[in-house]
Structure 1
Amino acid sequence: MQKNATIKVEQVNNHIVNWLKTYAENAKVTGFVVGVSGGIDSAVTSTLCAQTGLKTLCVELPIHQAASHVSRKKEHIAQLKKRFPNVESESVDLSNTFEQFKKDVPSSKNETKLNLSLANTRARLRMTTLYYFAGIHGLLVAGTGNKVEDFGVGFYTKYGDGGVDLSPIADLMKSEVYALGRFLQVPESILKAAPTDGLFGDDRSDEDQLGASYDELEWAMLQDEEGKNTTDFDGRNLEVFNIYKRLNNANKHKMNPIPVCEIPKDLRQI
């Protein structure tokens, strides 16, 4: 199931950088703010933004973060600052804010739902903070979601890391993000790290949560786009395809436009 990236990395890199720069200039803003997590997606996104020559503000937003995540993002930001004079950084520890939030809202006896809700709360606190920086500096919030996450399995938090102004890598499969990351000389520690959303305060990986690797999910997404169904597979392939279809269906509410109840014309006064 291993999917090898087939993009022309240098040309894709230039295309995205030009797209970012043109969008920012048309929007009459001075640059971008990126939440940097220590993962490949935010590392690639922030490097793409930095190449525009516009202000690129990398923001660390730890909430009881695992030490390995902290060290990776600090390494990346330090490297980026050396390479690009337009890169700046901020660090806001939201751990106390998160703990205060937990004190101010009622708890729940359903531990599974409680933990998931609090994980999503972390992402939404980070989104709010990114927009704070965007507001005071006149910047756009650059999203870090890739195609598999954003349009395949919906592996992101609605109005959390899904709350952005523009998405530079959302048309790239995960394997293509890695290929671009190698071209951009993203730190090896990030390239080798197991992908994780870091929303639970531990080292659980995305694969632990999803039940399949990104290579597998990318394969399943391509099979689904080709019109394949469960009768076409067996064994692990069938298991992965079912995981993909279940997540894709469950998270349609994230991918589709917000439903609007339209009022019929005959119910409006003339």
Structure 2
Amino acid sequence: MSTFNCSKIASHIIDWLNVYIKDIPVKGFIVGISGGVDSALVASLCARTNKKVILLNLPIRQAKSEYRRAQKQIEQLENEYPNVEGLKIDLTHSFECLEKTLPEDVNSNHLVMANSRARLRMTTLYAVGQTNQLLITGTGNKIEDFGIGFYTKYGDGGVDLNPIGDLLKSEVFLLAKHLGVIQEIVEAKPTDGLWGDERNDEDQIGATYDELEFAMSFKGDKNTLSDRQKVVQEIYQRLNSINQHKMIPIPVCSLEGLK
């Protein structure tokens, strides 16, 4: 197994970002900063392109710890890179207006409203991004985007490009440490930040990212697995199955032969 070369991987991603926008009429990238390691890593990579970068902190009844981590990471990159601009847009009032507008059975559904937060943030990212001629840059890692579909469709999954979609979570941490992502973020338990409390990804999924990485790569005899590994394998397979609609192209009804 080859060693994960942080310098080589970082340079490759930064070059990829620059090449991607080379011949299209945009000025750079915009990233929503959540206080988690994935968005902090993407922000750090985009900052190093020397293109215009806007980092948005978009709190909606946010846990104070998440908001502080996000703001601290934005300020660090602003201070270090002249091409980076931080911006805070508090969406709490907008979200509460949406809550009041929706029918009771909708706004009382906690999962629906958590996903609505992500979609409101996506709308804001596209509004600011289009105004500034920037591409919305995704922050989902390989496990989330292509393993268990742990993201909101047309929320944090609504992006123009994704520079870390081929990185496992363990690799995200390695690269984040290499690029100097603030220690508080590296040490924090991963969270999607959609609930307004301190619950983390592991609480929601029922497995750690290390366990999910093993499940994603496992191709052997399930009878050789420990009881815990079997539980995680079931979690992975269930989420992978029910979230296929997020991971495949939008189905189009073909009219071939009918016209």
Residue ranges of structure 2 left out of the alignment (5+ in a row): none
Instruction: Name the structure 2 match of 1:261.
Output: 253
Distance 2:142 2:69 in 1: 23
SS in 2 for 1:33: strand
Distance 2:116 2:32 in 1: 15
Amino acid at match of 1:121: S
Aligned pair count reads 259
> 1:232, CA displacement in angstroms?
3.9
Does residue 21 of structure 1 match 2:18? yes
Matches for 1:53-202 after TM superposition, within 5 Å: 53-108=50-105, 114-202=109-197
Runs of 4+ in 1 over 4 A off after TM superposition: none
> 1:109, CA displacement in angstroms?
8.0
SS in 2 for 1:56: strand
Distance 1:228 1:137 in 2: 49
Distance 1:6 1:169 in 2: 18
Distance 1:89 1:152 in 2: 31
Contact persistence 2:207–2:232 (CA under 8 A):
yes
SS in 1 for 2:55: strand
Distance 2:106 2:46 in 1: 43
Contact persistence 1:5–1:175 (CA under 8 A):
no
> 1:234, CA displacement in angstroms?
3.2
Deviations 1:93-146 (Å, cap 9, x if unpaired)?
Answer: 1101111001111021895xx111000000000000000011100000000000
Deviations 1:224-270 (Å, cap 9, x if unpaired)?
Answer: xxx336434231011111111111001000001111111131x32xx
Distance 2:158 2:208 in 1: 25
Closer, same or farther in 2 for the Cα pair 1:235/1:87, shift >3 Å? Answer: same
Instruction: Name the structure 2 match of 1:234.
Output: 226
> 1:6, CA displacement in angstroms?
3.9
Matches for 1:17-56 after TM superposition, within 5 Å: 17-56=14-53
Contact persistence 2:106–2:112 (CA under 8 A):
no
What TM-score do the two structures reach when normalised by structure 2?
0.97
SS in 2 for 1:57: strand
How large is the Cα RMSD of the aligned pairs? 1.6
Amino acid at match of 2:59: P
